[in-house]
């Protein structure tokens, strides 16, 4: 299965993992405010969908977490899906 590497904000990524999401993610490197993660198509779609949900519900959630979710979405969309879609 094809994978791709992404550098995403740690705040949203670890929240995503703490909620038992990201079953196909592989952390390559952790820094204070960034995570280098390898995602397959399922992991990409899961993280993107979760980030989109948080941004959509931003009026009801922690603003810093929602901003981190928005940045995560931007990065995923910029780099693109592992299968090139």
Among candidates 27, 24, 15, 12, which has minimal Cα distance to 72?
A: 12
**Considering its fold, how many domains does the chain have in total?**
1
Please provide residue 39's backbone torsions phi and psi, each rounded to the nearest 5 degrees.
Answer: -125, 140
pLDDT given for residue 1 in this prediction: 79
pLDDT given for residue 85 in this prediction: 56
pLDDT given for residue 51 in this prediction: 94
pLDDT given for residue 63 in this prediction: 87
For 5-70, the DSSP string reads EEEEEHHHHHHHHHTT--TT-EEEEE-SSEEEEEEEHHHHHHHHHHHHHHHHTGGGS-HHHHHHHH
Question: Can you give the residue range of the structural domain that contains 34?
Answer: 3-79
pLDDT given for residue 2 in this prediction: 92
Element (H, E) at 4: strand 3-9
Dihedral angle over CA of 69, 71, 73, 79, nearest 10:
-150
- Residues (pLDDT < 70) of the chain are 84-85
């Amino acid at each position: 299965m094809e994978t791709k590497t992404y550098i995403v904000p740690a705040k949203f990524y670890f929240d995503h993992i703490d909620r038992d999401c990201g079953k196909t993610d592989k952390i390559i490197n952790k820094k204070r405010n960034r995570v280098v993660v390898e995602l397959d198509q399922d992991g990409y779609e899961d993280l993107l969908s979760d980030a989109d949900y948080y941004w959509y519900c931003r009026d009801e959630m922690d603003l810093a977490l929602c901003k981190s979710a928005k940045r995560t979405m931007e990065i995923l969309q910029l780099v693109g899906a592992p299968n090139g879609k």
